[in-house]
Amino acid sequence: MSQLRVTKMHGAGNDFVLIDGRDIAEERLPEIARRLCDRHFGVGADGLLVISDSSCADIKMRIFNSDGSEAQMCGNGIRCVGKYIYDNHLNTSLHPTVETLAGNKTLALHIGIDGKVERVTVDMGEAVMLSDSAVALTTESGIFNVIPVSTGNPHGVVEVSDTETFEVAKIGSQLESHPFWPNKANIEFVMVEAPDTICQRTWERGVGETLACGTGACAAAFAMATSGRVNWPVKVVLPGGTLIIDKKDRHILMTGPARFVFETAVSV
């Protein structure tokens, strides 16, 4: 076994273990993700962030869910990467670029009074409707109208009357694995609270319910604003915190916190 330096971080309660993957065999990453993310026998996290050198951006980010599956993009995770590389002097730009499986993303880092990154705005690119209208998906619990959206990851947005009492785990797990999605999907349950505010709970594929989901907040805001249910910019209130989602030209901009928790070394 060897010692691996790991950093625990979170974005609005969506927590991650971050590692430098340059000296780690790629085939080991799913296993490392499962071990480190285990909340009983590991560090505990929703996902593993792996950074490495990039030939087309300032840094490369890969995101593995707690079950070892790899996701294309992670909005909360990429904010943590932006904070990590600036605070640790790996990059001095306030507008670094990050290579992801969903393309290169540009960040705007907002510095706090301590000289470290406090918030990050991410240009998430274009959100895309995957259907002309909501689709009715039949599950064992009933039929649900789902708005399918891609923000780098596939999402299904479901408007509900009360996010607090809704059976997110039960319905989310059924909709996540519905045959409509070729590779499963993240499911967002949203409630309109004000003309510019929605409340959201998320069931993430390969993870379960999380306290926040950046790409999901973008998908939910885009779906609700496009349908005229709310106005831009959209405040997305999540169990772990609040994200501000705006639209500039055709691009979705997400602003939210990034927090350092601790560093340690583990045997892998």
Reply yes or no on whether 213 is catalytic.
yes
37, 80, 199, 213: the catalytic one is 213
Q: Is the peptide bond before 179 cis (omega within 30 degrees of 0)?
A: no
CA distance 25 to 61: 15
Alpha helices in the chain (DSSP H): 29-37, 75-87, 168-176, 214-226
- Reading phi first (left if > 0) and then psi (alpha if -120 to 50, else beta), residue 224 is in alpha
Element (H, E) at 16: strand 14-20
37, 74, 80, 218: the catalytic one is 74
Q: Angle, nearest 10°, between helix axes 75-87 and 214-226?
A: 130
CA angle 54, 57, 63 (to 5 degrees): 65
Rg (CA), the chain: 18
Just list the catalytic residues: 74, 213
